[in-house]
């Protein structure tokens, strides 16, 4: 899935909390945005293995949420939102295609690495590849809660992300020709 889809998923998860506890809306949004992006920093390493923890990430997310509930502050809520969004990103990569630049060719049976079991989780291909039409539709749907709950620059970032997502989806399959060999 697109990085923006992951970010919107994180924002959709924290939006009900931000609505109920608006004093933490900013920290929840920033944590969710950063956590939604963070696993993909491994794009130039071993993508979907180095910073993706689809199983083990839950062991960090649950205690982070518990700490934020017990000791609510801007820092604890941001860290909890980060941990949940990062875990959700890694876990949801299994519903897409493989990590290669042209996954519509179904070249790989590796969606995301499970560090706990020491093996790759196979791709389900419900979202065929990042930028697929169904990915764009999911991104737009997941952006709605954030557009309703958050205000100011967060809403502007989300709107920009929706526009970027739709543009990326429109040109995604053509972009493969422009990717340098070292990134594949």
pLDDT digits (tens, 9 = 90+) for 142-180: 999 999 999 999 999 999 999 999 999 999 888 777 765
pLDDT of residue 179: 64
Q: Domain for residue 94, yes or no?
A: yes
State how far Cα 103 lies from the chain centre.
Answer: 18
Q: Domain for residue 180, yes or no?
A: no
Buried b (16+ CB within 10 A) or exposed e, 69-88: eeeeeeebbbbbbbbbbbbb
Q: Domain for residue 179, yes or no?
A: no
Instruction: Write the pLDDT tens digit of every residue in 58-108.
Output: 999 999 999 999 999 999 999 999 999 999 999 998 888 877 777 767 677
Q: Domain for residue 27, yes or no?
A: yes
- Residue predicted with more confidence, 42 or 26: 26
Quickly state the pLDDT bin for 52 (edges 50, 70, 90): confident
Q: Domain for residue 145, yes or no?
A: yes
Q: Are 38 and 172 in contact (CB under 8 A)?
A: no
Q: Domain for residue 181, yes or no?
A: no
CA distance 27 to 22: 10
Quickly state the pLDDT bin for 12 (edges 50, 70, 90): very high
Quickly state the pLDDT bin for 112 (edges 50, 70, 90): confident
pTM of the model: 0.91
CA distance 81 to 78: 5
CA distance 119 to 166: 33
Q: Domain for residue 154, yes or no?
A: yes
What's the domain count of the chain? 1
Q: Domain for residue 177, yes or no?
A: no
For 13, the domain range is 3-172
Quickly state the pLDDT bin for 45 (edges 50, 70, 90): confident
Share of the chain above pLDDT 90, in %: 64
């Amino acid at each position: 899935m697109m990085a923006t889809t992951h970010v919107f998923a994180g924002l959709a998860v924290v939006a009900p909390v931000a609505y109920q506890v608006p004093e933490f809306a900013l920290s929840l949004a920033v944590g969710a945005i950063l956590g939604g992006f963070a696993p993909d920093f491994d794009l130039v390493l071993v993508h979907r293995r180095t910073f993706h923890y689809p199983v083990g990430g839950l062991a960090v997310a649950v205690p982070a949420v518990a700490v934020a509930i017990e000791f609510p502050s801007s820092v604890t809520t941001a860290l909890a939102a980060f941990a949940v969004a990062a875990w959700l990103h890694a876990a949801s990569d299994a519903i897409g295609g493989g990590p290669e630049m042209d996954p519509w060719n179904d070249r790989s049976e590796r969606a995301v690495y499970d560090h706990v079991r020491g093996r790759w989780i196979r791709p389900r291909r419900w979202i065929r590849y990042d930028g697929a039409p169904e990915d764009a539709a999911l991104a737009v749907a997941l952006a709605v809660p954030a557009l309703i709950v958050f205000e100011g620059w967060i809403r502007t970032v989300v709107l920009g992300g929706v526009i970027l997502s739709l543009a990326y989806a429109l040109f995604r399959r053509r972009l493969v020709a422009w990717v340098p060999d070292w990134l594949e």
